[in-house]
Amino acid sequence: MQHPWIDPAFLNQPPRRFRKIHLDFHNSQHVPRIGDRFDADEFGDTLLAGNVDAIVVFAKDMHGYFYYPTASGPLHPGLDFDLMGAQIAACRARNIKVYAYYCVTWDNYLAERHPEWLVWKRDRTTYLPKFNETPSWTALCLSNEDFVQQVLTHTHEFLTKYDLDGPWYDMPFPIGGECFCPRCLAHFHAAGLDPLDVTNQRQHKQQLLTSFMRRCHELAHRIRPDYQVDQNNQTCIGLGERIVGLDNVDIEALPTGGWGYLYYPTNVRYARTFGQSVVGMTGRFHRSWADFGGLKHPNQLLSELPGIVAHGAQISIGDQAPPHGRLDPAVYQTISIGYGYIKAIEPWLQRAAPVTEAAIVVSDTALTDIGDRMVIGDGRNEREGAVYGAVKLLTELQVQFDIIEGGETLNRYRMVILPDGLTVEPALAHQLKQYMANGGVVVASHHALRSAHDQCWYDGLGITYAGESPFAPAFLCLDQAHFVDIPAYEYALYYGTAQWRGGHALARVGEPLFQRNAQHYTSHAQSPFDRVSEYTAITANQHMAAFAFPVFSSYFKCGYWVYREVMRQVLQTLLPQRLVRSNAPLSSEISLTYQAADAAHPARYMVHVVNFSPNRRATPHMEYLEDPIPLHTISVTVGLHEPIRRAYLAPSGEALALTGSTGAWHVTIPTITYGAIVVLEIA
């Protein structure tokens, strides 16, 4: 069997800081006074009291204003001293790493003064607001060399003027992934490409962004080789090309600010597969950025932070200083509690690599969000939800997994999952067949079964496509010999199904009396079950399991328990030896990490059990975590083949009884409030 995947790049990274603050500081020209209550010593001491060890401070904000005297840009009109310089000096005196924030394509000042740099939409408008609208995005285009050169000039200026640890770029991303400005149109016309083609646009913007990131990275490292260069929001398709411009992958994901609690666990599993360190973000706000007066309860951070580090990532907590520049003591009292815990467990976090056995495969045009087919926020941006559904389902089933774009990385994993919306191109189909021939197993759902010719790309299943079912809902009729623990019943397939003939059917498609419509209807909802059809709903052999219906997006949208339990049974057959099994509830998350031996400790594995207890809420409230229900007597079995000599809890050192043997080590955790880390030392 394939060994679990442990990325050696994680084990060899330089030491990282785990307790960062992202100190937002956007101030328009309408703010009359900046920094009039700032005191450098109070600033630095407040950060220390908050257990902070790194911070991002502002060189230039989204309005286009600078917070240090610059030779080529506007100092904020309400500022009369070098605020960033004073912040940097205060941090340096306290051994706090400090990075300079620079907003790239969102710049109101430049947008008003350089219309030739603006991104143009398909309808010949720009992102400038109407005269009766409050400004938002302004979207400058990276195809303008004079604009890019100005960014590089500013970067050179603040990196050589101040003692920093690196630049932190925000909004480098080409807004919307396309532009119809004169320069972009000239590029397409010169190359004989259709500018209206989304793929052409995305490839061009990927090239522009990759070039920009590479130039920023090269500039910074020429000045000082150990600078850390960050570019925000890079967890979208094509990161493998853009990684040359990064020393760290940042994931902006304020869970109560619209991102939700699935965004980070999805994106971190993609970001961490490229050999660079990762930072996961949350916020101190009750809602999102600029939520002045909004403050999380300390229990919320204690619930969120263990879930970030469990994936091998560092933490950044978003704060926003008021214009007067004084940090709010109440904010850092709250942060100190969460970061106090992280400080205590850091010895078990440094150079800890995620340990995985499976991967979800994603594929799309460049710069597409890996979870683009999803539902986020209030539902107005509704998509399919296949990737998020797969993440939710596999997490609840305690599978240890990454998210990848295919290729040679398939061979790292014992199992790969092909979500509903995945297009299996011929190259990927060839890779998957080779992967299965080498002993890997595959789970594929709905459209991910079909080739471009509407047949299954894998002949070994022996199935033939017969179109999509005319019924939605259809029904799932299980073969009880295969699903003995699930009651015999016709289960609704709420979002329809494909029709496949043949194969070794573990379940068949059931059909209703008729499809409910204006002419044929009965009762309140779907028509009742009528008959079992000839079509296969689930089929499998020793190499692959196939779901005719969109199991992942369906689970994301409605959470029907039977989809999860059917998947549990299928995984048990395909992947009987698993890395982790536990009686922890579905609401918990379990992750496995590994540290190589060094002078301070032997080689060891860490099992992170994070107790997520969502609070009951009224309909308008965002989901948040605040008052966890403690877990008791949580058993964990770890499928490790190394000899384990002892088990204990970090950071307390409390010994845990270790039973079992190679391949199945057992421990029991007495109580978990927010999270627990079980340490398994290798003999």
**d(C-alpha 161, C-alpha 71), whole Å:** 12
- 659 or 370: which leads in pLDDT: 659
Neighbour order of strands in the sheet with 490-493: 401-404, 358-361, 415-418, 441-445, 544-547, 529-540, 505-512, 474-478, 490-493
Burial class of residue 425, CB neighbours in 10 A (0-12, 13-18, 19+): middle
Q: Are residues 387 and 500 in the same domain?
A: yes
On whether residue 11 sits in a domain, the answer given is no
Q: Are residues 563 and 596 in the same domain?
A: no
Q: Are residues 530 and 597 in the same domain?
A: no
3-class SS at 179? Answer: coil
The predicted-structure confidence for 143-158, as pLDDT tens digits, reads as follows: 999 999 999 999 999 9
**d(C-alpha 104, C-alpha 59), whole Å:** 11
pLDDT band at 622 (very low <50, low <70, confident <90, very high): confident
Q: Are residues 537 and 610 in the same domain?
A: no
On whether residue 110 sits in a domain, the answer given is yes
On whether residue 12 sits in a domain, the answer given is no
Start-to-end CA span in the chain (Å):
22
Mean pLDDT for the chain overall: 95
Contacts of 40 (CB under 8 A, 6+ apart): 86, 87, 89, 90
**d(C-alpha 110, C-alpha 565), whole Å:** 55
Domain count of the fold of the chain: 3
The CATH number covering residue 467 comes to 3.40.50.880
On whether residue 323 sits in a domain, the answer given is yes
Q: CA geometry: angle at 139 spanning 214 and 156, to 5°?
A: 40
On whether residue 494 sits in a domain, the answer given is yes
Boundary (domain end) residue, out of 547, 574, 601: 574
Q: Are residues 589 and 568 in the same domain?
A: no
**d(C-alpha 445, C-alpha 426), whole Å:** 17
Does residue 44 register a pLDDT over 50?
yes
**d(C-alpha 417, C-alpha 387), whole Å:** 10
On whether residue 593 sits in a domain, the answer given is yes
The predicted-structure confidence for 463-507, as pLDDT tens digits, reads as follows: 999 999 999 999 999 999 999 999 999 999 999 999 999 999 999
On whether residue 363 sits in a domain, the answer given is no
- Percentage of the chain exceeding pLDDT 70: 98
Residue 547: half-sphere exposure toward Cβ, Cα within 13 Å: 29
> Residue 406: which region, alpha, beta or left (left: phi > 0; alpha: psi -120 to 50)?
left
Q: Are residues 245 and 160 in the same domain?
A: yes
- What is the span of the domain harbouring residue 174? 19-349
Query: Of 106, 142, 141, 273, which Cα lies nearest the Cα of 214?
Result: 142
3-class SS at 90? Answer: helix
Predicted local distance difference test score (pLDDT) of residue 380: 41
**d(C-alpha 13, C-alpha 351), whole Å:** 6
| Backbone dihedral angles phi then psi of residue 342, each to the nearest 5 degrees | -60, -40
pLDDT band at 135 (very low <50, low <70, confident <90, very high): confident
**d(C-alpha 507, C-alpha 583), whole Å:** 28
Query: How do strand 415-418 and strand 441-445 relate by DSSP bridges?
Result: parallel
Does residue 374 register a pLDDT over 50?
no
3-class SS at 253? Answer: coil
**d(C-alpha 537, C-alpha 508), whole Å:** 5
Q: Are residues 527 and 601 in the same domain?
A: no
Q: Are residues 79 and 112 in the same domain?
A: yes
The predicted-structure confidence for 290-343, as pLDDT tens digits, reads as follows: 999 999 999 999 999 999 999 999 999 999 999 999 999 999 999 999 999 999
Write out the DSSP string of 335-398. HHHHHHHHHHHGGGTTTPEEEESEEEE---STT-BTT-SS--TTTTT----HHHHHHHHHHHTT
Q: Are residues 552 and 476 in the same domain?
A: yes
The CATH number covering residue 674 comes to 2.60.40.1180
**d(C-alpha 476, C-alpha 497), whole Å:** 10
Q: Are residues 628 and 484 in the same domain?
A: no
Distances (CA, A) of 361 to 404, 445, 448, 490, 550: 5, 12, 10, 31, 15
On whether residue 358 sits in a domain, the answer given is no
The predicted-structure confidence for 553-608, as pLDDT tens digits, reads as follows: 999 999 999 999 999 999 999 999 999 999 999 999 999 999 999 999 999 999 99
Predicted local distance difference test score (pLDDT) of residue 375: 42
Per-residue exposure over 258-282, b if at least 16 CB sit within 10 Å of its own CB, e if not: ebbbbbbbbbbbbbbbbebbbbbbb
3-class SS at 550? Answer: coil
3-class SS at 614? Answer: strand
Burial class of residue 158, CB neighbours in 10 A (0-12, 13-18, 19+): buried
pLDDT band at 619 (very low <50, low <70, confident <90, very high): low
The CATH number covering residue 344 comes to 3.20.20.80
CB 569 within 8 A of CB 486: yes
Report pTM.
0.96
Neighbour order of strands in the sheet with 675-682: 5-6, 353-356, 589-595, 604-610, 675-682, 644-650, 655-656
Q: Are residues 281 and 386 in the same domain?
A: no
Give kind and range of the element (H or E) at residue 262. Answer: none
Q: Are residues 542 and 596 in the same domain?
A: no
CB 604 within 8 A of CB 677: no
Boundary (domain end) residue, out of 507, 541, 574: 574
Boundary (domain end) residue, out of 541, 574, 607: 574
